[in-house]
Amino acid sequence: MNKLSRCALLCLAFPLSAMALAETPESWYAEGEAAIAKALALKPNQAKAKNIILFVGDGMGISTITATRIYDGQSRGGKGEENTLAWDKLPYTALSKTYNTNLQTPDSAGTMSAMMTGIKTGHGLISVNQKVALGHCASSRGNQTETFLEQAEQRDMATGIVTTARITHATPAATYAHAADRDWENDADLTHEARENGCKDIAQQLVEFSVGDGIEVVLGGGRRNFLPTSAQDPEHAESKGKRTDGRNLIDEWQAKTKGEFVWNGEQLSALEKTKSQANLLGLFSPSHMAYDLDRAQEQYSEPSLADMTRVAINRLKSHKNGFFLMVEGGRIDHAHHASNAARALGDGKALSDAVAQALALVDLQDTLVIVTADHSHVFTMGGYPARGNPILGLVHSPDQKGVRTTEPTLAADGKPYTTLGYINGPGYAEQASLAAREVAKPNPGRHLHQKVDTQQKGFFQESLVPLSSETHGGEDVAIFAGGPWAHLFHGTHEQHYIYHVMRYAAGFDSPASKK
């Protein structure tokens, strides 16, 4: 009996999930043979992609993916390391080089603009080329770069944007807006020079978007950028709009599109039951939406990223010419900036749930699904913890028999340490646990002790270099893909290559596709 035949018999008798529960040398070998059999059966799909879904985990570097995989697996009762996230099941993977034209370690504006326009650009710039000076409106004239979403609209595809960040934040903004400064989210943010030279803020550009028949679905946070300073937020009485021009852009969007507007989860759920196909705008928070671990504490419910993804796909997939949807897990990045691994991994898990939801609703025969990140973070994982050690916990190494020790492993200074940490950030000077503050004054250096609950969601991991906010990382990030032409992701690519794969897969370069 050859090895592949033996593998097939083993896989029938011992499903991989069962083998993971009773690991033996034989089960590991059988897993490897099963993976080879699966790889040999893989056939590239060269059909035209009717639909394209781009998932972006903002700040989701390789270490975040690994830690999220373990976190998700442990939340399901497993050891964690053997777990698979939704994108792990996609057949093709590659690496993406993320630098901006002027930064070794990039920002989200330049990186997402690269994915959306097919060229790299400078940091802080939204879908304009590198000739533009940051914050200088006049320099953007003639240097705007058409986005993939705009090109999809030109070809009568339906389009959608979903994010847990403000819908005017850098990553979603790069799909539909053009700006010399990512911070121009509402008119109050515009400089005098920008006003004098006729630049529009990002919220205004979204509402006045006029390519094709407009964006069909927009779901995220950021109500304040669409409301005037005189308007009270519907959820938070103390919160007002940010616009100084007196415009209520939500009202303007409804009048223009005859679409439906919602601002909480119950309203979105009710609309979903009607199976309406009208244009949809959902703004679920004045600023960014809640971290996934905090959604239950919100005064009014916020939909999960998976909920918003499901609603968006169901509204878009009936379109005869297909659709393009961008889904961002935007708050992975924000938690990392705070040196708060628990919330970063919680939002990473939420992104995996959203990818799983999408894969359940579409057919990879005609839908290209891409999962990637705009950049990484200086987030580390190490310390030789035993297999199955809580990913958010203190390091407990195995003893000589391979059994996890009951006492945490101590560093050279006699103090315990966590598996997860940051190279820089607020964890240097802040007390590690908000619930265990011992001094009102910041206490630089190592402050961790065994009684601190490092697994609570409010714990801030330690960092080496003191900064008020942890920074992005500059290393390559992963690309996972499945569906038509996903095999074009095959090695190490410049980040703007993602745009070119989407364009080729959708047939935008063929004569028949041009209108």
Catalytic residues: 108
Cβ neighbours of residue 431 closer than 8 Å, sequence gap 6 or more:
437, 438, 439, 442, 443, 447
| C-beta contacts of 127-133 below 8 A and 24+ residues apart | 127/173, 127/174, 127/177, 127/178, 127/179, 128/178, 128/179, 128/180, 130/101, 130/102, 132/180, 133/180
Task: Kindly state the DSSP code that residue 104 receives in the 8-state scheme.
Answer: S
Cβ neighbours of residue 497 closer than 8 Å, sequence gap 6 or more:
96
Q: How many Cα atoms sit within 13 Å of 450 on the Cβ side?
A: 9
Spatial separation of the C-alpha atoms in residues 132 and 149, rounded to whole Å? 21
126 neighbors 202 (Cβ within 8 angstroms): yes
> How many DSSP H helices and E strands does the chain contain?
15, 15
Cβ neighbours of residue 220 closer than 8 Å, sequence gap 6 or more:
161, 162, 163, 164, 165, 166, 167, 172, 282, 283, 284, 289, 308, 330
Spatial separation of the C-alpha atoms in residues 286 and 288, rounded to whole Å? 7
Write phi, then psi, for 243 (nearest 5 degrees): -75, 135
Tokens linked to 362? 């579409």
Rounded (5°) CA angle 404-405-407: 140
DSSP string, 219-287: EEE-GGGGSBTTPBPSS-TT-B--BSS---HHHHHHHHH--EEE-SHHHHHHHHHHT--S-EEEE-SSS
Tokens linked to 39? 């790889």
